[in-house]
Chains A and B, each alone.
Chain A
């Protein structure tokens, strides 16, 4: 069964304390892996798409990497405004169309 698992479920960091969030997946034929940020009471906001193993994308304090089994979202010197839930999703073939599978997310809280 295709699955996306994110860890940890929740993470509390001090401002400036770098860390990484993990997204591991088991799908047949990954087409793409996506990271989203979701603030409380709002819809997810698209951050990155990763297409193939070895690829990296960066945006401000965030860097996303991809291997054949997992993706990491690295947060460097985070600020309180980086507090949010970070969702990972994968796109995989499904019949004549593709399917998107979301993980449950990692709730990140940055303490000032």
Chain B
């Protein structure tokens, strides 16, 4: 089945220790997103890629970086995690809006990040 895969599902890191979360997709979608979701809150968009065109949300902290080496993979790097960065990180994909017109998003299962 075509899907969005995130690894690891659970990640524990120490305060200030860099961490990388990964996402892969077999849907062949052009657009990929990273969201941060804290308990009982709406998913908050951090970045999105339209193909290799990187789009950073204005309020995304510099501590967060992203890479998309090819269509299938996308990475989220947190350079110096703080306690406030503990959250669920969701990766999503969608089809090219030129083809579909609409951003129906398909989400991975998420990575739960704990910062100690």
Nearest neighbor of A103 in chain B, beta-carbon distance:
B42
Given A32-B103, A43-B90, A105-B42, CB of A98 within 8 Å of CB of B109: no
Q: Are B42 and A44 in contact (CB under 8 A)?
A: no
The reply to whether the CB of B70 lies closer than 8 angstroms to some CB of chain A is no
A43 to chain B, nearest CB (A): 3
Q: State which size class the interface on B falls in.
A: 20 to 34
Contact of B103 (CB < 8 Å), options: A87, A91, A105:
A91
Q: Are B42 and A49 in contact (CB under 8 A)?
A: no
Bound state CA distance, A36 and B106, in angstroms? 10
Q: Are B104 and A43 in contact (CB under 8 A)?
A: no
Contact of A100 (CB < 8 Å), options: B4, B6, B103:
B103
Q: Count residues of A near B (Cβ-Cβ below 8 Å).
A: 25
Q: CB-defined interface of A95-111 with B at 8 Å, one 1/0 digit per residue?
A: 00111101111010000
The reply to whether the CB of B75 lies closer than 8 angstroms to some CB of chain A is no
Bound state CA distance, A45 and B108, in angstroms? 9
Nearest neighbor of A101 in chain B, beta-carbon distance:
B42
The reply to whether the CB of B63 lies closer than 8 angstroms to some CB of chain A is no
B29 to chain A, nearest CB (A): 12
The reply to whether the CB of B45 lies closer than 8 angstroms to some CB of chain A is yes
A4-B42, A43-B91, A104-B41 known, 7 other contacts, Cβ within 8 Å: A34-B105, A43-B4, A43-B110, A44-B90, A87-B42, A91-B102, A103-B42
